[in-house]
Chains A and B, each alone.
Chain A
């Protein structure tokens, strides 16, 4: 028996049995099968397999259909309409904004009077040494004891509000920070710088000895 080289036609033999080929294709396949012993044998094998269908029980259609819920009962769980999804998102977004906004408002109201990092200074807030900085500047809150110049928050006062992240500092760190800030030349000097008089007769070499 000659080996068939028409792979394309061989692949269509099951379709020939199922009558799913177009008329012209079917005619072409049938013409080939008439002249090809191998394809005739294969077609006979396929017919045998098709006719020898294995046992399968008869399905009770009504019983199956009774187990299928109506589409309207399935839809809410499977396929919700787009409008319902949009409304759900809007409600969720609104609730989210309300929670965040309300929370921020509560925190803001709670934090203002009790903010440990906000130090309010009554005037005069700072006293600047009048002579060459020989005396340390007195800055409100620089000592461990509350200064008399420090008061609760009041309107129309100058506030030295530190950044919120210093709230975690210890008392010692805060004291050090305030001491360092006291040494800043943050306020304009109201008096002239002290004048240093130099004695021209002073001998550096003698001094070094």
Chain B
């Protein structure tokens, strides 16, 4: 990248000092420390975006202090154009996003040096060209105006040089007594450079303590594999090779590590062209409905604490079927737990039949013993080496809760004089029983290195800003060990430093640039003779080819597994009203809290509950009945009853949400909410559930008691409000309509009746009179649409897992605003593509299916006829185009849209666009916008355009080369990011195009085809593959 390595902190500093005495007045200092102008911190309701925006502009007045991005050293206008930059033409760079103990390869789109869009790297094993919601939204984090802009000492503005000199003093002292009293608390990482620096650090300070903590991690998986094999291993699953999959509370399609490759593999195993093909079968046992549970052919709900017993019962059944599982000798399934023996037998038979082509996978929330047993089962089924590969783990700092506990112990006994917290936010997310905050007060010099001045920073002597991964050098390994270099897309916006740079400083006392550190590490992997060439190759490719780590064949230690299992089984208890089970899980929006200040993610509805902007306590309908609770639907809004959760002497109050399919007597709460110092988006959103979480039971535990409170709390849900289930009229109608809206059949039904999806469509029109496409004849001369490109889309409901990635990708690509909780409560969310979630069956054991719905680009578009000013019209390529400039905003088109995919700018959701209220404009948030897409002003309608800007750029490219646009050249944002490749887009007029061929499939159907609006988007009906032994007919 460019050499704009100026020092932001000192530049801002200098500028103000030149205003001589002004900077020294106490009033001025107060303003500076506040960081935001008057009333910023007084905002009582920080999630009201309108407040937030009105504060933005004023904050910018202070941007010159520390946040100015203009290089002091040199400013070069494009008078002489840089060779590689064509203004207006986007450039794409490969990089990687570190995430826990894995990494996702990225391709980042930049416009004139400004990153605007993140997508998956097609060649990277972790992303395969797709990107999940967190990856998509990471670009918004880069431009988060609340990121910390300056080094803070005791909460007051300081500077990087000040920090460096302070550290040098400490360094000199610690190096003398080998680091005694020095400790580092880091997040987990898998990075050769960080690992090298960690080793060097521990070499320089042999008596220093290093602990690694992650609130949500695969620690239990690693522990379990260590228990079973004695080795630290990374499991890599090949779902595409599996015919039968049993998930023991593993949400491998969504929150699990490497969810993209899992989702791709899983959906590849279900991709069916004709009724002759076969597909895999998924069994899921879980307490809370997850995305993976919704994809299951058979789902079993049970408390998380009973999963171990279930696993043991399955292992016994496997042994009985001839696949002898080690590690069970002397362990009995605890009596008193009702297990579905028929289910277990059927699963075991299926798994044994699919020997070598099955997968048993347990969720990271399950204790290590379960993972050890699962390892033994997979081994017995000969799945190891075929569908599951175990690899060694290299260059990693793996999370370890007991290390954190030991560190806290040391801190409490004042054995830690200096603590460096490298990333993470332990004051917020450390287990409540450790009381990290209190322990931290015993540390003389606490240094917190993080992107935001957060809860932990406020308790530390020093806060040092950390750079975003898109603005720093680094390296990572994917789950299979593949190496990538993280290269910056932009200079640090707020002058922050990377963890590599900080760790170098800690280790050596001198400043080393991240670039140099990474290159130094990579001299290991790249031959010195050819270093520059290979280095460039790696940067260009985004990964080092063939750097995956080899598979290993571990040995199983049956006795160790059996011993551990015995203890676990003894502890299993029966949940009931007076002994409920609390289940913690990462939020689908904020994950562990790290994305709390990301508006896109906060507004992204949970895949299952469809709740945005809050976390809720999920309980089953049966439990709710016993507690005399119901969904608090009033005037179309959820005013949810509050519940007091009491667990191990701690309590929190949370709104309830009755979740179909939730295990009885369990309460599931999402982590990552209730932040106090996340920033203006995330502060005060939801309830901090870490307050209940202990180090001994981080994911689930019994002993929860609940008490109903006399309060309600408004919850914003984008679909059904969960409460329609309580209104018989509506729920009956939904149940009646769902099968025709979202068509599905079992594989068996499909084979019997291959045309089930299109069978029940009755089109109006002249009976018997059909045109050449088999469409009813109209009394009008319809436009032919048979020339040139005719764009269309196909969405495979059998592949869609409802993961929301498309929604965020579309938001990023198309500059879709965030509207805030108040507006979502009113039903004014702006997402162009939404994921409709339908329940089928009973409230306790429902099936869940998803349907992505965006503008269907009807040929007989009802919206076009009613617009009085012709602001929405058809183009000759079949696009239903929206002319923002012409729109008056009557909303008639939205009323007349049968799919309700049109979104209206009820208020000025993009500040400054209407020409007044300019002062509301958040300058830095403008940088995230795609310059190829109009930013809509208030009062205009908007909707999915089929990414018309991408069609245009493909057209320009084709025209320049004097050819037609090739099939697959235009990829919509939703299609590009879809982990399961459920969406296909292309030219319907080309019979050879993928989309045209897919639409020939017998599962193809049009949504609401009976209206004869002729949508250009069609769906492939969903299929389930139930086990005939477990007769559970699929509705519809």
Task: Decide whether A and B assemble into one complex.
Answer: no
> Which residues of chain B have a CB within 8 Å of any CB of chain A?
none
